[in-house]
């Protein structure tokens, strides 16, 4: 006897747009590389491509090195008022970012209700008491607000206690539900020089997008291989990683390996987003 479970309804909301071959929000990305490896430029380029495509429309940054990389953050662009530079106040800055996201979402919902009431009134529809009061107090709406689609970049924060705080871990685990709206969640792009004390092991299972730069620390490679044990063997991963990050290969300056767990087929493992890496070729 077989039991057939009922099929739940599909989510009625439209998916957030993203360029082909790039991760669709909401995601947690982790770029790991030593100073000068190119991880900041790579992360900024990736976020800019998603911003240009409409996947993000507001980028927040917490980074003690903001001023030395200001040309990259302005290029995305990231408004200076949404950038936080005090290392000792990273936790408070993240709370402020969440508050701003929620405030922007509430303003959008209020604005949408305002427009709906105004359009109903112009059509001669029957207004609710709340709609009548809104139009009497606010008059006709003058502009439409855009639904916020945020990205939060966390750069060089491995020396802070924020990553190991219960507040940060809770936020990462519920990043899709921060505003209780499927269209408004959080995407994190985390940049760190090493996984050792750089990003909590307990949250690495939440990482769906990796940018891995060359390293001689074999424990890092083993750690990530274990995270991917269901997709690729440790031996295959090690060979693939060494190939992808080999700086002596032509055109492989600032080499890195991209692992995009939101993609399927040949787009999961790539060298610099360009060359597909197939596990079968590294057995």
Strands (E), 76-213: 83-84, 150-155, 187-192, 209-213
Place of tokens 């700086």: 247
According to the model, what pLDDT value does residue 212 have? 93
According to the model, what pLDDT value does residue 234 have? 86
* Selection from 205, 203, 211, 245 nearest residue 229 by Cα: 205
Rounded average pLDDT over 169-181: 92
Q: Compute CA distances 104 → 14, 53, 58, 108, 217, whole Å.
A: 20, 20, 10, 6, 42
* Selection from 256, 274, 278 nearest residue 43 by Cα: 256
Rounded average pLDDT over 204-220: 86
CA max distance for the chain: 72
Tell me the three state secondary structure of residue 59.
strand
What is the model's pTM? 0.91
Q: What is the token pair recorded at 63? A: 């980074």
According to the model, what pLDDT value does residue 91 have? 92
| Burial letters 258-274, b for 16+ CB under 10 A, else e | bbbbebeeeebbbbbbe
Q: What percent of the chain is modeled with pLDDT above 70?
A: 99
Rounded average pLDDT over 7-36: 87
Using pLDDT thresholds of 50, 70 and 90, give the confidence band for residue 100. Answer: very high
Q: What is the torsional sign of CA 70, 71, 74, 76?
A: negative
Using pLDDT thresholds of 50, 70 and 90, give the confidence band for residue 269. Answer: very high
């Amino acid at each position: 006897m077989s039991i057939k479970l009922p099929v739940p309804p599909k989510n009625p909301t439209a998916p957030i747009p993203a360029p082909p071959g790039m991760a669709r929000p909401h995601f947690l990305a982790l770029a790991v590389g030593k100073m000068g490896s190119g991880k900041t430029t790579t992360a900024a380029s990736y976020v800019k491509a998603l911003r240009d495509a409409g996947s993000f429309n507001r980028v927040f940054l917490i980074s003690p090195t903001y001023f030395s990389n200001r040309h990259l953050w302005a290029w995305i662009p990231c408004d200076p008022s949404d950038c936080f530079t005090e290392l000792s106040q990273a936790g408070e800055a993240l709370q402020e970012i969440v508050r701003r996201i929620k405030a922007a979402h509430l303003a959008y919902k209020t604005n949408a209700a305002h427009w709906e009431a105004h359009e109903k009134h112009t059509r001669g529809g029957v207004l609710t008491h709340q709609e009548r009061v809104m139009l009497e107090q606010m008059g006709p709406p003058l502009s439409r607000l855009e639904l916020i689609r945020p990205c939060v970049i966390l750069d060089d924060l491995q020396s802070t206690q924020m990553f190991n705080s219960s507040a940060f871990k809770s936020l990462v685990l519920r990043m899709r539900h921060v505003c209780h709206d499927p269209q408004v969640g959080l995407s994190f792009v985390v940049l760190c020089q090493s996984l050792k004390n750089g990003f909590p092991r307990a949250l690495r299972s939440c990482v769906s997008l990796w940018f891995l730069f060359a390293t001689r620390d074999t424990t890092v490679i083993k750690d990530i291989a274990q995270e991917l044990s269901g997709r690729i063997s440790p031996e295959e991963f090690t060979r693939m990683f060494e190939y992808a990050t080999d700086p002596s290969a032509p055109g492989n300056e600032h080499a890195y390996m991209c692992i995009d767990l939101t993609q399927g087929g040949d787009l999961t493992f790539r060298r610099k987003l360009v060359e597909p890496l197939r596990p079968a070729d590294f057995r």
